[in-house]
Amino acid sequence: MSTSRARVTAACLTIRRAGAPVSLTVLARDLGCSARQLQRDFAEVLEVSPRQYGQAVRTERTRHALQSTDSVLDGAFAAGYGSVRAFYEEAARRLGMTPSEYAAGAPDQVLLWSSTSSDVGDIVAVATPRGLAAVRIGDAASVVEGLAVEFHRATLRHDDEAMADVMNALRHLARGESAAALPVDVRGTAFQARVWRALQEIPAGQTRTYAQVAAAIGEPTATRAVARACATNRVALAVPCHRVIRSDGSLAGYRWGLAVKTALLESERG
């Protein structure tokens, strides 16, 4: 294949068919290129490694497996894990809770949610008593439907009054205006937490490259890991991952779409 994008597309298709990480050596051999070349291709096109992409695919598969079976053990093997220990160690990090809690639909948790419209789309926020657990941008009905399925045993309570201050702050942020800092209640690895804190320190109207964020947290060689941490940010706007760009100044992928990322940056710059 002649272009890096074509090679990455083909490799991603192979990984998705496998449902889990595929050896870099195997991918490169099938594509007729060197492992080093394919590694560079992924860094250029997706800003994650083939293994990181495979882990994300397996996490997605894990979610589906846990939602479709009553047995966590069955879910572990259906998701492609070779051992229960590996399943619990990786899945707990990536799901934000233990597999048993996720499979149970987050029982006994009370989640408040509210939505508001903005120029970049509907904003849906979900909060626990400790802070924001999720902020998503898109069609409110679809987002809420997804949350209800994902956390089917949690109590999802629509409460516009209790969430009024939060939603007002998020509307200001979506317009590029300053707002009071919002407490967040998200679970991640220690590394992810460091990245998310660094993102909150980027002033509105400014951007940082992935490399600059990596340097700021004292991990100058962890550029791709920083990109992955940005991609797994669960609280859009409150943790402004839209302010992180590539080293050449171009915009990398954004969960809610590059059009939304562009609009947010332009509104902040005034």
Q: Are 96 and 187 in contact (CB under 8 A)?
A: yes
Residue 24 belongs to a domain: yes
pTM for the whole structure:
0.61
Residue 45 belongs to a domain: yes
Count CB atoms within 10 A of the CB of residue 38: 24
Give me the CATH number covering residue 238.
1.10.10.10
Distance separating alpha carbons of residues 36 and 27, to the nearest angstrom: 11
The parent domain of residue 145 ranges over: 110-174
Q: Are 126 and 235 in contact (CB under 8 A)?
A: no
Please indicate, yes or no, whether residues 91 and 16 belong to a single structural domain of this protein: yes
**Whole-Å CA distances, 14 to 10, 27, 29:** 6, 8, 12
Residue 88 belongs to a domain: yes
Give me the CATH number covering residue 127.
3.30.160
Please indicate, yes or no, whether residues 10 and 96 belong to a single structural domain of this protein: yes
Residue 212 belongs to a domain: yes
Residue 180 belongs to a domain: no
Query: Is 33 assigned a catalytic role?
Result: no
Domain boundary among 103, 127, 157: 103
Give me the CATH number covering residue 48.
1.10.10.60
Strand arrangement of the beta sheet that strand 155-158 belongs to = 131-138, 122-128, 110-116, 155-158
Catalytic residue among 12, 33, 230, 241, which? 241
- More confident of the two residues 270 and 214: 214
Query: How do residues 217-233 score in pLDDT, each as one tens digit?
Result: 888 889 989 999 999 89
Please indicate, yes or no, whether residues 94 and 128 belong to a single structural domain of this protein: no
Query: How do residues 70-122 score in pLDDT, each as one tens digit?
Result: 444 455 545 555 444 454 455 545 455 444 455 455 556 777 899 999 999 99
Q: What single-letter amino acid sits at 157?
A: R
Count structural domains, the chain. 3
Query: How do residues 118-177 score in pLDDT, each as one tens digit?
Result: 999 999 998 877 788 889 998 888 888 887 776 676 778 899 988 998 999 999 999 998
